[in-house]
Structure 1
Amino acid sequence: MKQTVRTRIAPSPTGFLHLGTARTALFSWAYARHHGGEFVLRIEDTDVARSTQESVEQILQAMRWLGLDYDEGPVYQMRRLDRYREVVDQMLAAGTAYRCYCTPQELDEMREAQRARGEKTRYDGRWRPAPGKTLPPVPEGVAPAIRFCNPLDGVVTWDDLVKGPISIANREIDDLIIVRPDGVPTYNFAVVIDDWDMRISHVFRGDEHVNNTPWQINIFNALGAPLPLFGHVPVILGDDGQKLSKRRGAVSVTAYEEAGYLPEAMVNYLARLGWSHGDDELFSRRELVEWFDGQHLSKSPAQWDPAKLSWVNAHYIKQADNERLSRLVVAQLSARGIAAEESELLLRRVALFKDRCATTAELADWLAMYYADVKATEADAAQLTEAARPVLRELAQTLSGLAAWDKAAISQALKQALAAHGLKMPQLAIPLRVAVCGRAQTPSVDAVLELFPKEIVVNRLRNL
């Protein structure tokens, strides 16, 4: 029988879901959906000191926002401690794991001595059982760690879904700790048991895990468990050419939501960071699932490009339904302490300005002038010359008397003012924009003014 494709994402709740993990989640989700398989969310919370519920909630929110629905989970590792103990007991009995009573001080001294001899630092196997070997006496009051009996010779080889064949000699790795003295399993052990129990068939993850993979393959083999296929995707580099990470440079996924990016734009952009489908730059979620077969993943690091993301987001904002954008703008304005309600007028304002915007935050920047007082920059305020002010006050009187408040009537009023004072349109329109909108550049000024209540326009011109 053909195996069901099952992928997973397993973030650690020690901080926000950063962009690299989000991309890995997207690849894993898309691969499972492409093959009609299943996608699992696992929370790797064994770092008890640093894991927080706030981080868990942020991870779940980021997954919801990106639309990465999962078929199983969230599964929490700390709720599976009994299962890990069960497997460890089996390994101790089988001789594939052993107790190590080294104290932290002894391990430090071991590494210092190795450095002094110019050797690679590694555990020296002093507590590893072997035929004819006498182990040190068990010290009193020292809780043991459990170490894995890594094979002493041979080579670990796997055909990576991204990088191709990789081989690492067992002599290059040592007997890693699989359970800490406090009884909590380490990453390399728990991840194997989880992937085994959850029948994970394909593991996509960052290439910082390449060095962990030999240990994990050896543990799988020691347990007689089926191996998943591994695909290690290269890192994402920031503007400075350094790796994005939780601790360096990466902004959380939810921060992009708050900054006014659309989830479909983020999904589109993240997918193109290290994967391609011909020359296609813009594609739907449906097309991503249709195309993402695990091929065409780049072996080279991807470069995070904020300008490219903004371009992609601007595309999706232009396509977005005005009612949806209105809801997002109301939320953006509310976050700034500006009250606005969804209305037919707001829909018209959104329609007028959205083609100029790369984010809903920028759209809210434009529309804030309809709901709150405006203040021009020093450069724009310079357009309100002493010569322009009396013309604008006179225009205020004309506008206040208009029977109809629409684009045609406003346009006619502007033409009358131009004729009366012998002005060109820029000589009137620019200071008019500054006075009413707080900025010198806007769409057609009559179209912009039409969407204000007449009283606001008149009052802003009279109060120059």
Structure 2
Amino acid sequence: MRFMHIRTRFAPSPTGFIHLGNLRSALYPWAFARHNKGDFILRIEDTDLERSSQEAVDVIIEGMAWLGLDLDEGPIYQMQRIDRYREVVKQMLDSGLAYPCYMSEEELNKLRDQQMASKEKPRYNGLWRPEPGKTLPPVPEGVSPVIRFKNPIGGSVIWNDAVKGQIEISNDELDDLVIARPDGTPTYNFCVVIDDMDMNITHVIRGDDHVNNTPRQINIMRALGGSPPVYAHLPTVLNDAGEKMSKRNGAMSVRDYQRAGYLPDAILNYLARLGWSHGDAEVFTKEQFVNWFDLESLGRSPAQHNPEKLLWLNHQYIQNSDPVKLAAATKPFAHEIGMDTEAGPDFVQVVSLLKDRANTLIEIAEGAKLFYLPAPNLTADQIKENIAEAVMPALKDLVEAISTAEPTKEAYAAVFKQILAKYQIKMPALAMPVRYALFATTQTPAIDSVLVVLGKEEAVKRLSKVVR
């Protein structure tokens, strides 16, 4: 089925927690809309007043903005459309598509208990459903009814799911759905239908936990004269233990990944591969993903979260990042651990030196600390313990050679090579004492690069303090 103009939506409930599995349900409809030059809409399904919060909405919007999932419309809030839903409920009552049901919750529970005892599927029995020739019970006083949709009797709901293939559900499996509560508040399955119709949604790409809702939504939509969109139900995302991803099972929120020093492009790349593939491509740009994305390449099996794979992917993105942009992304993490990135070497140079070995922005910030700490004030005992007397002549020559060398990695490497050859010693024998003299630690990146970043003047000053 072809559409003149593709319109997709992401419709989360703002109940406080958005993890990678949730975000994948935003990424795929966004990519499908972008690939087809269509529209992507954010709809906030906030009719659950007890659990919904503005903070949760903010988390959703911030997470999508961080990943670069731009919107064409929205956020649109369902609670701001209550009058529209009530208008449609009235139309359905007037046209006989819906009816008031006065069965109390106590009666409904008793009915379900009886059905379960008889090994029947628990379902509403249609007591208040008006039919030709049927006499309804007397309306109880002081009771506000729910409003139920008159689901078709007999036949099936059939749709061709873009991921799961043809699905058929018998109408006999579906009872008359409550579309409005006693206080008039509309229910989820009803609001979704009105929203999708009003917003001209052409494709609904969402998790397969919604498959059971789909036949109900299709029946309501058809009753109202609408044409169902194309449905694509995505298999569940499992955590690394093989359980459904959720906060209860230890899933991290999108904010957690941001705070842990992950790059948004790495997260987006990783999410894209959680249920979709393009040949053997593992690392790709957002532009490539949008260009390649189609529904036919969505997987039918549950995707499993792999933290190690995500960390590896983040490393790839850090390694290949532009140093200027990477430094800007790392600065907040550096400031968080008390570093003054202006009081020391050029931060872009420091980040460029560290990025090839880092998995996260936090690791870069931690590694950068060395360059912004005060010069070590080594005692005579520390120098004697960590820098052997035998290496002092070589260290002295090294300091003199560095002070006249070009301040480049190649020139410093040549100086080291010359001194090592002169004294017939191996690189660690000289490099380790140099590292200790510079930073009071032997753990640093390549020493020739370190000298460039630290600066010749500062390096010579620190080394000169230990030469004896």
Q: TM-score, normalised by structure 2?
A: 0.87
Matched ranges for 1:240-279 at <5 A: 240-279=241-280
Distance in structure 1 (CA, Å) of the matches to 2:155 and 2:261: 53
**Offset, 1:416:** 9.6
1:387–1:88 CA distance, 2 compared to 1 (3 A): closer
1:197–1:460 CA distance, 2 compared to 1 (3 A): farther
Q: Does 1:51 align with 2:57?
A: no
Aligned to 2:80: 79
Distance in structure 1 (CA, Å) of the matches to 2:343 and 2:326: 10
**Offset, 1:170:** 1.3
1:157–1:449 CA distance, 2 compared to 1 (3 A): same
**Offset, 1:133:** 2.8
Aligned to 1:386: 385
Matched ranges for 1:200-211 at <5 A: 200-211=201-212
Q: Structure 2 counterpart of 1:214, which letter?
A: P
1:372–1:51 CA distance, 2 compared to 1 (3 A): farther
5+ unaligned residues in a row in structure 1: which ranges? Answer: 376-382
Distance in structure 1 (CA, Å) of the matches to 2:311 and 2:441: 22
Aligned to 1:353: 354
1:424–1:111 CA distance, 2 compared to 1 (3 A): same
**Offset, 1:243:** 1.1
Q: Is the 8 A contact 1:393 1:462 kept in 2?
A: no
**Offset, 1:181:** 1.9
**Offset, 1:314:** 2.0
Aligned to 2:93: 92
- 2:132 match: secondary structure: coil
Identity within the alignment, %: 52
Distance in structure 2 (CA, Å) of the matches to 1:79 and 1:342: 51
1:2–1:163 CA distance, 2 compared to 1 (3 A): closer
- 1:60-96: CA deviation from partner (whole Å, max 9, x where unpaired): 1111111111111111000000000000001111222
- 1:268 match: secondary structure: helix
Greater shift, 423-432 or 50-59, is seen at 423-432
**Offset, 1:399:** 8.5
Q: Is the 8 A contact 1:274 1:297 kept in 2?
A: yes
**Offset, 1:344:** 7.1
Q: Does 1:213 align with 2:214?
A: yes
Aligned to 2:17: 16
Distance in structure 1 (CA, Å) of the matches to 2:31 and 2:155: 36
**Offset, 1:413:** 8.4
Q: Does 1:451 align with 2:450?
A: no
Aligned to 2:333: 332
- 1:103-134: CA deviation from partner (whole Å, max 9, x where unpaired): 33333222222222222222222222223333
**Offset, 1:432:** 5.0
Greater shift, 276-285 or 218-227, is seen at 276-285
Q: How much is the aligned-residue C-alpha RMSD, in angstroms?
A: 3.2
Q: Is the 8 A contact 1:436 1:461 kept in 2?
A: no
- 1:300-326: CA deviation from partner (whole Å, max 9, x where unpaired): 011111222222222222222111111
Q: Is the 8 A contact 1:163 1:231 kept in 2?
A: yes
Q: Structure 2 counterpart of 1:386, which letter?
A: E
Q: Is the 8 A contact 1:396 1:457 kept in 2?
A: no
- 1:204 match: secondary structure: strand
Q: Structure 1 counterpart of 2:445, which letter?
A: P
1:392–1:144 CA distance, 2 compared to 1 (3 A): farther
Q: Is the 8 A contact 1:332 1:361 kept in 2?
A: yes
1:72–1:438 CA distance, 2 compared to 1 (3 A): farther
Q: Is the 8 A contact 1:237 1:301 kept in 2?
A: yes
Q: Is the 8 A contact 2:399 2:463 kept in 1?
A: no
1:94–1:418 CA distance, 2 compared to 1 (3 A): same
Aligned to 1:63: 64
- 1:151-179: CA deviation from partner (whole Å, max 9, x where unpaired): 22211110000110001111112222111
Distance in structure 1 (CA, Å) of the matches to 2:291 and 2:386: 62
Aligned to 1:426: 428
Q: Structure 2 counterpart of 1:60, which letter?
A: I
Q: Is the 8 A contact 1:153 1:169 kept in 2?
A: yes
Distance in structure 2 (CA, Å) of the matches to 1:342 and 1:198: 54
Greater shift, 435-444 or 108-117, is seen at 435-444
**Offset, 1:335:** 2.3
Greater shift, 319-328 or 137-146, is seen at 137-146
Distance in structure 1 (CA, Å) of the matches to 2:345 and 2:387: 34
Q: Structure 1 counterpart of 2:447, which letter?
A: V
**Offset, 1:440:** 4.4
1:343–1:187 CA distance, 2 compared to 1 (3 A): farther
1:146–1:357 CA distance, 2 compared to 1 (3 A): same
Distance in structure 2 (CA, Å) of the matches to 1:220 and 1:370: 64
1:167–1:412 CA distance, 2 compared to 1 (3 A): closer
Aligned to 1:182: 183
Q: Structure 1 counterpart of 2:123, which letter?
A: R
Distance in structure 2 (CA, Å) of the matches to 1:35 and 1:343: 49
1:274–1:456 CA distance, 2 compared to 1 (3 A): same
- 2:346 match: secondary structure: helix
**Offset, 1:365:** 1.9
Q: Is the 8 A contact 1:399 1:458 kept in 2?
A: no
Q: Is the 8 A contact 1:236 1:243 kept in 2?
A: yes
Matched ranges for 1:44-193 at <5 A: 44-193=45-194
Distance in structure 1 (CA, Å) of the matches to 2:187 and 2:393: 76
Q: Structure 1 counterpart of 2:187, which letter?
A: T
- 1:358-400: CA deviation from partner (whole Å, max 9, x where unpaired): 222221121122224799xxxxxxx999354778999998888
1:434–1:41 CA distance, 2 compared to 1 (3 A): farther
Q: Is the 8 A contact 2:102 2:128 kept in 1?
A: yes
**Offset, 1:219:** 0.5
**Offset, 1:421:** 9.0
Q: Is the 8 A contact 1:147 1:179 kept in 2?
A: yes
Q: Is the 8 A contact 1:100 1:147 kept in 2?
A: yes
Greater shift, 171-180 or 390-399, is seen at 390-399
Greater shift, 202-211 or 350-359, is seen at 350-359
Distance in structure 1 (CA, Å) of the matches to 2:102 and 2:440: 71
Q: Structure 2 counterpart of 1:95, which letter?
A: G
5+ unaligned residues in a row in structure 2: which ranges? Answer: 377-381
